[in-house]
Structure 1
Amino acid sequence: MFQHQIKAAASPDWRAFVVAEEWGRFTPADHDTWNRLYCRQVKMLEGKIVSPFMDGLRRLNLQSPGIPKLKELSSRLKLLTEWQLVSVEGIVPDAEFFAMLADRVFPIGNFIRDGEQLDYLEEPDCFHDIFGHVPLLAYQPMARLMEALGHLGVDACAAGQGEAISRLYWHTVEFGLAKERGELRILGAGLASSFGEAEAALHADVPRPRFTIEDAAATAYENDHFQPLYFVSDSLEEATQLLESLTLEKLVALGVG
């Protein structure tokens, strides 16, 4: 009965946020910053991140030096999972962001951080967006999950449940951990692209509760410093299955608002 009382929301128009990539604007210093970040993260993440991430790096040829050309990278990704990448100037509002995901489109910031402050970010740059997110978008279970979160996110924002879906996204896709073959591994893009927080998430003396939909949706997050806790999924596959099966009715029933 209840499921018929909630109608799917019209998808917001996200295209107004897309800008020209203008890859030629990147300077030799920008490309050097990318190379330094890439080499540092790959070395640190070996054996510490879910396996499909490293597979994605290789399948997308992200090991090539320099900031990737978005059109070429997007073409490779589309062949693998039907996802596409677009250039944006900064953070996209939640409703439009989830609408992008629903259309299998992922936004990439058209700038890179200052090479003198490799770990400082006011907002996500192209290294976070590409290195952190795109490798797992080449993995079909994650590609399906991100689309499902997009559709759910559009409906959730329209129904006043934007905070709940944002928390779930944050505690898994951005800053989640997962077990793999009995070992604790990084899952989230925010951790994959951050040298300092990746180490903290795995080794610091912080709470690492088991991930559940109910607990993650009820837990606020921090967006300007390291997280006070990191949820741990039993596996990457379990996390995708739990979130992919989530409905708006279930989200509303959590009462997060």
Structure 2
Amino acid sequence: MITKALKNRYADAPRAADFTIDQAWETYSTAEHDRWDRLFRRQREVTKGRACQTVLDAMAALELSASGIPDMEKLSDRLEAVTGWRIVPVAALVPDEIFFDHLANRRFPAGAFIRPEAEFDYLQEPDIFHDIFGHVPMLASPVFADFMEAYGKGGRRAMKLGQLHSLARLYWYTVEFGLIREAGGLRIYGAGILSSPNETVFALEDDSPNRIGFDLARIMSTKYIIDDFQQSYFVIDSFEALLDTCYQDFANVYAEMKERPDFEAHEVVPGDEVITRGTLAYFKARQAGR
């Protein structure tokens, strides 16, 4: 959790109606910049060969580096030139309706605070490292940027229909903890994995979690856990396929959800495409035309 002292850093900052604040970049301490640099160097190293190519390319294009906490205004200028998105600083998590409004207008709300040293390896509430290192690279992908805008617009409707929990599961298992088939194997694009050194390795290399082919209704019926590694990861074939599947009116999907049971995070159910090393070998051979 965020400590009381850390909350006070932005506690008195004026907030606009959309909950945005002034990042006040010049007020970060040398220790905070150093903490960003150490987080960045460690995670950049562990994601080599594990993050999807879209993430790696975007980090270079956006000039993300271990050279101090990014100035969101300057970073936004580079991102906006690519996909029209901007990053807006906030003091903490924002209300759902505010969050969806930002996404629907191509603004990503990012926590302006950086975790304290005592929570260097893990914190429960997303900080600037999670939001910038984990989320921002994918916003430089035109296809994924369109998906995030559509998600924001869909969020407002889900609230009116009382189906926010179903849509939240889609976000969790894609934007936060998604995997993609790439280069004959699996790669990471979800921010919750990308910003965690231990889960980066666990998600791809541990034998215990389920890795299941993407299925929209299945995901919207699946619970998730927030205080441990995921017990199931869902795998997309491409970002284009993700957008195509989700670029629709979810009214019929939500109606189906009301008739389906919820699944626990660890469950494998009939109809699941369970992805194993054997299925990945087949996928790689198919890519090669054999």
1:142 is matched with which residue: 144, 149, 160? 144
Q: What is the rounded CA distance, in whole Å, between the counterparts of 2:211 and 2:20 in structure 1? A: 37
Residues matched between the structures, number:
243
Contact 2:112 2:128 in 1 (8 A): yes
Q: How far does residue 191 in structure 1 lie from its aligned partner after superposition?
A: 0.5
1:239 aligns with 2:242: yes
Q: What is the rounded CA distance, in whole Å, between the counterparts of 2:187 and 2:96 in structure 1? A: 27
Contact 2:90 2:112 in 1 (8 A): yes
Question: Structure 2-normalised TM-score?
Answer: 0.80
Q: What is the rounded CA distance, in whole Å, between the counterparts of 2:197 and 2:248 in structure 1? A: 32
2:180 is matched with which residue: 172, 178, 181? 178
Q: What is the rounded CA distance, in whole Å, between the counterparts of 1:43 and 1:53 in structure 2? A: 13
Q: Which residue of 1 aligns with 2:162?
A: 160
1:209 is matched with which residue: 194, 208, 212? 212
Q: Which residue of 2 aligns with 1:10?
A: none
Q: What is the rounded CA distance, in whole Å, between the counterparts of 1:120 and 1:256 in structure 2? A: 35
RMSD: 1.6
Q: How far does residue 240 in structure 1 lie from its aligned partner after superposition?
A: 2.8
**Equivalent AA in structure 1 for residue 54 of structure 2:** P
**Equivalent AA in structure 2 for residue 211 of structure 1:** F
CA 1:33 to 1:256, structure 2 compared with 1: closer, same or farther past 3 Å? farther
Q: What is the rounded CA distance, in whole Å, between the counterparts of 2:83 and 2:38 in structure 1? A: 28
Higher Cα Rg: structure 1 or 2?
2
Q: How far does residue 181 in structure 1 lie from its aligned partner after superposition?
A: 2.4
Q: What is the rounded CA distance, in whole Å, between the counterparts of 1:64 and 1:75 in structure 2? A: 19
Q: How far does residue 97 in structure 1 lie from its aligned partner after superposition?
A: 1.0
Q: Which residue of 2 aligns with 1:72?
A: 74
Q: Which residue of 2 aligns with 1:81?
A: 83
Percent identity (aligned): 42
Q: How far does residue 235 in structure 1 lie from its aligned partner after superposition?
A: 2.7
Equivalent position SS for 2:212: coil
Contact 2:36 2:66 in 1 (8 A): no
Structure with bigger RCO (C-alpha 8 Å, 6+ apart): 1
Q: Which residue of 2 aligns with 1:122?
A: 124
CA 1:237 to 1:49, structure 2 compared with 1: closer, same or farther past 3 Å? farther
Q: How far does residue 64 in structure 1 lie from its aligned partner after superposition?
A: 5.1
Q: How far does residue 50 in structure 1 lie from its aligned partner after superposition?
A: 1.2
Q: Which residue of 1 aligns with 2:232?
A: 229
**Equivalent AA in structure 2 for residue 125 of structure 1:** D
CA 1:53 to 1:15, structure 2 compared with 1: closer, same or farther past 3 Å? farther
Q: What is the rounded CA distance, in whole Å, between the counterparts of 1:87 and 1:131 in structure 2? A: 14
Q: How far does residue 224 in structure 1 lie from its aligned partner after superposition?
A: 2.2
Stretches of structure 1 lacking an aligned partner (at least 5 in a row)? 1-13
Contact 1:164 1:251 in 2 (8 A): no
Stretches of structure 2 lacking an aligned partner (at least 5 in a row)? 1-15, 260-290
Q: What is the rounded CA distance, in whole Å, between the counterparts of 2:97 and 2:223 in structure 1? A: 19
Question: Structure 1-normalised TM-score?
Answer: 0.90
Could you list the structure 1 runs, at least 4 aligned residues long, displaced by more than 6 angstroms after superposition.
none
Q: What is the rounded CA distance, in whole Å, between the counterparts of 1:115 and 1:84 in structure 2? A: 28
Q: Which residue of 1 aligns with 2:4?
A: none
Q: How far does residue 239 in structure 1 lie from its aligned partner after superposition?
A: 2.1
CA 1:256 to 1:104, structure 2 compared with 1: closer, same or farther past 3 Å? farther
Contact 2:211 2:235 in 1 (8 A): yes
1:107 aligns with 2:114: no
**Equivalent AA in structure 2 for residue 24 of structure 1:** E
